[in-house]
Structures are given as C-alpha cells and as structure tokens.
Structure 1
Amino acid sequence: MKKKLIPLLFLLLPFLCSAQEYIDLFSINYGKSQKTTFENSSIKTDITTFQTNLILPIVLNEKYIAVTGVNFSSYKLQLFPNSEKNHLHSTNLRAGLTVKHSEHWSGIYLFLPKVASDYINLSSEDIYLGGLALLKYKRNESFGYGLGVYGSSEAYGMSVVPIVTFYYHSLNKRFEINAFMPNDADINYSLTDKTKVGVDFLGHGNSYKLTTDNVRSNYVENNSIDFSTYVQRSVLDKKILLRLKMGYSLNQFRVYPIDQKLDLQILALKFGDNRTLVLENKSNTLLLKLEAIYRFDLSNVKK
C-alpha cells in the first residue's frame, strides 16, 4: 500500500503548486491592527482578523486529482462610530479537478460557493457562487507560471478577476518567490535549515450583508491590502511552520443600500456604479499577525 501511495502523492506536485515541492494542507492565522480613529471623529477602533484554510486533494489517477477543501475568514470591527462591533464572516467551499494536460501543462478547475454575511438570520440570500479556471506551465523544477480567471457573484453584483501565477526557487533552494496575483505574493530567504525571513503581500475583497435591528438593509464591500515582513521557524521535522508577522494594513469598508448594485466589476474597474454610499470606513494601521501552517513536503516522497 505504501509503495502505491508514494507515487500517487508525488503526482500532486505539478498540479497544486506549479514547481514547488510542498503542499500547505492546513493553515490558521490571527491578526490585530493598531487602533485608529474614524474620519472626522475622535472615536478609536481596531480590526481583528481570523482565517483558516484546509485543502484535501484526492488522487484519482495519473491525470486527474479531485480537490476539496474549505476556507473560513472573519473580521471583527466597528463599522460606525457609535455602534457595537460588527462580525463579518465568510465560509468558502472548494470542489473541483486538476488535470494533467501534458508534461509541462496542467489545469485547475474549481467550483467555489461561499456563504458571506454577519451570520445573523442566515438564509439562501447569503450564498454566492464562484469559480476558478487556471492553466499552468511548469518549465522545470525551479520555475513555473500560470494564467487564469476567477469569477463570483457578490452582494454588489458580479466580480471578475484575471489571475497570474509565478513561482521561482533558486538552485540552492534558499531563495523563493511564490505569487498568485492579485491575491497574494511571498518572497522569502532561508537563513538556516529551519529559519526563514520573508516579505508577503495579501490582497482580498469580499461583500457581506448586514443586519440592523433584525432587518437586512445594507451590505458591506470590503477591500484590504496587507504588507508584512515575517520570521518563520519550522518545527516537528519541518511539518509545522510558525510565523510572526509585522506589517501595514490598508482597509476599506464601504456600506451601501442592499438593493443597489453595479453592473460588473473587473479588478478595480466598476461598470454601471450608481450606488449611494451610506458610510465609508478607511483604516491604515500597523498589523501584528500569528500564523501556523501544516506543510506536506513532496521532496521527500521521491527519495
């Protein structure tokens, strides 16, 4: 059984990670921003974030791998100067296939439904449908790239995001670049066998319907960008990665009436946007974050 399992596990390499020799099967992080004031107000607030991600790949044969998983994220913040803190949650499911088209080309095709709101009086109106199609080219063990598109329905309408991926690993395996733009990018360098330093970028956007006095009257459109430096230490035979991050967070939360939508959004371009802005909350603050990752090392599988 072990002899059969090892080559099947190694098949995950070209599918899920371009040219990487690992898969991050599980991650969890918690962050908190520095207190900041509302615009034209002396009231201070902060933003607490939590995120966890689970990936469960299932090898079907040498050409196909089923990909399943779930991602949960939440914000805790004060949207209005004189209100209680709001809790914004998003649960994203992941289901699809990776396909090995040839020696160098592979594709990832995912169905990505999600439930996003303040999770008060949940209903089918909090369900949004999305999908991802990504075609990747693996030039060699150290370099790969890909192009794709992500689309999803949101509380404000339809959103479409072009995707560009890039991966590079130096021959001595100390220097690494891993990018999934415009969502995230990571550049790191190994100081020792177990210690790395790096910088990363995380951009994310979402929408959440709000409940006020038991009535759904508004939704929040969130766009955030985090820039961080980090120190990473691996433990338990490099299976667990612990990261301490410090950086700067740019957060924008816009509140709109629930019945007002735009026609289409492509990245930052908005078409048919005639919405009435109820409130805008911007906060640019220092960020401290703790992160833990369970990593499966595929380089050991082929030995």
Structure 2
Amino acid sequence: MKNFWFLLIWLPSFFCAQNYVDVLQIRYAYTPHSNFENTPNHTDVNSFETVATVPFPINESTAIIAGANFTYNNLELFPNDGYSHLYNTTLRLGINTKLSNTWQGTFIALPKIASDYQDISSDDFYLGGLAIFKNQRKSNLFFRYGLYLSQEAFGVTTTPILGMYYLSNNQLFEADLAIPLSANINYTLPHFKVGVDYLGIERSYHLHSPEQIGRYVEQNRLEFASYIEFNTFNKQVLLRSKLGYATNRHAVFDDDDTIGLKVIDFRIDDKRTQLNPKLKGSLFFKIEAIYRFHLNSQQN
C-alpha cells in the first residue's frame, strides 16, 4: 500500500502545474433523438467509457506509464435496422521523462481492438501512438505540443496537438487545453465547481454482423458541454453532471472504401460512398465519476 501512494505522489511531477492524478474515470453519455437526415427516423446514442492509469517509476526523472480504456457505443446505424454494439479496448504503454529543467516528454503506444466484437479478427486490431512535449513557464503554467497518430479502418489519421495548463494563484480558476482533442475551463465556488468543456472523439469499428459484414464505422463525435461538479470524500471522488450538444457522425463504408490520409478533419483523396444516412447533431446528457488523488493532501 505504501508503494501505491508513492507512485501517486511521484507521478504529478511530470504534469507540472497539476497537483493531482486522475487514477480512474468512468463516464456515461445519453444522446436522445439524433435524427437521420432526409428521413423521419431517429436513434438514441448511448456511450460508456472507463479509463485507468498506473505509473511505475524507474528513477527520479523517468517513469513507465501503463493503462487501458474501454468504450462502448450503442445506436442504430441504419433507420429501423436494430441497434449495433460498438466496442473499443485500448492499451496504453509508454514512458514519461524529464528532458531538462523546463521540458518533459511523454511517449505512449496505443494498440487497440475496435469492432462490434461479434467475431474478433486481425482486421479489428489497430496501432497508434502519442507524443507530447511540455514546457513549464511558471509553477502554475505550462504549454504542451504533441502529435497523435493512429491506424484506422479508413486509413491513417494524424492530429497535431497544441495546448496549455493554467491554475490561478488562488487555485479557483483552471484551464486545461489540448486542442483539437479536448478543452476544460472551470471555476471553483464554495460548495461546487462549474465549467465548460469540449471533447473530440474519432474512432473506427470493424463490423462482423451478418447484415454488415465487410463494412466499418467511422465515428466522429464532438461534444460541447457545461457542467457542475461536486466533490466527495475529501475531494477525492468527483461527480460531474453535464448538458451539451454533440455531433454524431457514425458513417458506414465498405472495407475497401478508404482514404489516403486524414489530418485533423482534412481528408486526403476521400472518394468514399457513405452507405447509411447521416446523423444530425443533438443535445446530450453525461455523468462522470472520477477518482482523483491530490498531491497536497499527502504532502501537508
């Protein structure tokens, strides 16, 4: 048990201004009545995600980071065609190292299996990776620069990342940005916290069901939300309730209908034919539970 707390205390030194570690995250989102374009039909979209992270320090400047995340999506891909179950399991294995007094680097491999899990094959296995460099400017401010690269059913996608983390001197205002992947801005009030956030999700899933065999789904979901957060158990368990708007692209294509390269949202040589009607964006509701370890609580 002592070693476990040592790991949690040690890890935030790689996150500069952040004085906490989110060890476990659980999220559930419900998007009702997302309409199919040019039809009177709609579908509900249910999403579940859990993320876990464990660090293993090697020395004072380097650590191995291991973790995994599991996601589940449930929706109709075609009007009145029954609900499909889309799963994604990603392992995360990488290294976090101090490069200088002001620079740190994180390099993570992201192999995953993504499909409807009806008949898992080698076609469901994809490789990806993430590299992030962090430059600390002040004790409460750092900038991040990175690149995300992933093999998907439709081809290869790559996303440059620019961001920052800032915590005000009174520790009431916080901004955590990693554009275009995520953004979170919040303010702490006496009994709860309020905030706005953005999350960009891009995944693909190979389909094995008899009706959809030989096809894949390209998921692009952008979430814009406001939230209220309550802290329990000495601020170690965070409970968030969110309301926002989400785009719901779940496009179905034939397996051999691919693109050359996708950079952020720019698709190179994209001549694909989408087989299902497009989904419109809609309001969504989301709840989150986060187990957060606070460094200061162990240092004081």
Return the alpha-carbon distance in structure 1 between the equivalents of residues 198 and 232 of structure 2: 24
Give the structure 2 partner of residue 127 of structure 1.
125
Aligned residues: 300
Aligned: 1:216 with 2:219: no
CA deviation string 1:71-127 (max 9, x = no partner): 111111011012010111111110010001122111001010011111110112101
> Pick from 59, 62, 70: which aligns with 2:60?
62
CA deviation string 1:238-294 (max 9, x = no partner): 110001111111111111111121111111111122222222432211111111000
For residue 50 of structure 1, give the secondary structure of its aligned residue in structure 2: strand
CA deviation string 1:163-213 (max 9, x = no partner): 112100000000000112211110000001x51011110111111111231
Aligned: 1:268 with 2:265: yes
Cα distance change of structure 1 residues 214 and 283 upon mapping to structure 2, 3 Å threshold: closer
For residue 21 of structure 2, give the secondary structure of its aligned residue in structure 1: strand
Give the structure 2 partner of residue 278 of structure 1.
275
Deviation of the 1:214 alpha carbon: 6.7
Deviation of the 1:134 alpha carbon: 1.0
Return the alpha-carbon distance in structure 1 between the equivalents of residues 31 and 7 of structure 2: 42
Give structure 1 regions of 4+ aligned residues with deviation exceeding 4 angstroms: 4-9
What TM-score, normalized by structure 2, do the two folds share?
A: 0.95
Aligned: 1:241 with 2:228: no
Return the alpha-carbon distance in structure 2 between the equivalents of residues 8 and 302 of structure 1: 14
Return the alpha-carbon distance in structure 2 between the equivalents of residues 8 and 134 of structure 1: 21
Stretches of structure 1 lacking an aligned partner (at least 5 in a row): none
Give the structure 2 partner of residue 72 of structure 1.
70
1:1-303 to 2 correspondences below 5 Å: 9-15=8-14, 17-192=15-190, 194-213=191-210, 216-303=213-300
* Root mean square deviation of aligned Cα: 1.7
Return the alpha-carbon distance in structure 2 between the equivalents of residues 5 and 255 of structure 1: 44
Stretches of structure 2 lacking an aligned partner (at least 5 in a row): none
Return the alpha-carbon distance in structure 1 between the equivalents of residues 280 and 26 of structure 2: 24
CA contact (8 A) 1:128 1:153 kept: yes
Letter in 2 for 1:12: L
Return the alpha-carbon distance in structure 2 between the equivalents of residues 291 and 156 of structure 1: 30
What TM-score, normalized by structure 1, do the two folds share?
A: 0.94
Deviation of the 1:6 alpha carbon: 6.7
